Amino acid sequence: MKVLKDYNELSYVVADVVEEQIQEYPFSKLVLPTGSTPLGMYEELVKRKLNWYYVITFNLDEYLMNPDHQYSYHSYMRKNLFDRVNIYPDNCHFPYRPTLSFEDKIDASKGIDLCILGIGSNGHIAFNEPDSSFKSRTRVVDLTEQTIQDNSRYFDSIDDVPKQAITMGLGTIMESKKIVLMANGVDKLNILNVAMNGEVTESVPASILQRHDNVEVYYCD
Ligand code: PGA
């Protein structure tokens, strides 16, 4: 795990990884996260004016809600990245039903080159909540009370937070050639240590990353 000096450096360093990937291979397939942690990275990427024209993206997850809703992850991505770079809208994919056809789309693109992840306070990655199968694929899931609580800050009231989502599975994520996990804030440090140095167990979904041979973890407090 690399400890960075502050949130700006975290954003900058992960943007460097994305930039390098796109520069080296313009047809890259990326998996992208939402949440508060990657906001600075997206800001930094927009500033760099990279060529996104051939890039294909897959988002990690989406609430089971109207994609045009102001708090959907479609809206988040449009606002923070897609509407601000020259990406081709048809190349931006979100998990959808039938979930098998989303998985087929990833397969058809010949796999993910780089997957950027955040981590939830309960150790989830994407919306793979504790006790998700390590073999899981894209599917509809129920969100835990903890995640609903954590994410209520983005909504007008906790009752507005969707109770279900569609998430890429842990098995799907692990097939990425390279994975970068970014975590911001001292409240993530404990779960990060448990996930990266503790037992590999389905009760801590992020612990599966110990089994991947190309993972980078970046943290700032
Ligand atoms: P956060 O969410 O970046 O808003 O902390 C991370 C996550 O739940 O994966």
pTM of the model: 0.96
Residue 12, pLDDT > 90, answer yes
CA distances from 82 to 7, 55, 169, 211 (A): 22, 11, 24, 32
Peptide bond before 98: cis, by omega within 30 degrees of 0? yes
146 CA → ligand 1 middle, Å = 12
> What confidence tier does 108 reach under pLDDT thresholds 50, 70, 90?
confident
111/176 Cα distance (integer angstroms): 7
Q: Which residues have any ligand 1 atom within 6 Å of their CB?
A: 35-37, 118-120
Atom of ligand 1 nearest to the CA of 185: 5
Q: Given ligand 1 and candidates 10, 11, 31, 37, which is best to mutate, with the most ligand atoms within 8 Å of its CB?
A: 37
Tell me the three state secondary structure of residue 3.
Answer: strand
Contacts by 147-150, CB closer than 8 A, 24 or more apart: 147/120, 147/122, 150/120, 150/121
Query: Is-contact 19 50, C-beta < 8 A?
Result: yes
The token pair that represents 142 in the structure block:
């129920």
pLDDT in tens, 35-53: 999 999 999 999 999 999 9
Amino acid at 185: G
108/86 Cα distance (integer angstroms): 23
Is 16 catalytic? The answer is: no
pLDDT in tens, 17-33: 999 999 999 999 999 99
Mean pLDDT calculated for residue range 84-113: 93
φ, ψ for residue 200 (rounded to 5)? Answer: -80, 110
126 CA → ligand 1 middle, Å = 9
Q: Which of 44, 59, 61, 80 is catalytic?
A: 61
Q: Which of 44, 62, 103, 129 is catalytic?
A: 129
> What confidence tier does 109 reach under pLDDT thresholds 50, 70, 90?
confident
Is 122 catalytic? The answer is: yes
Atom of ligand 1 nearest to the CA of 147: 8
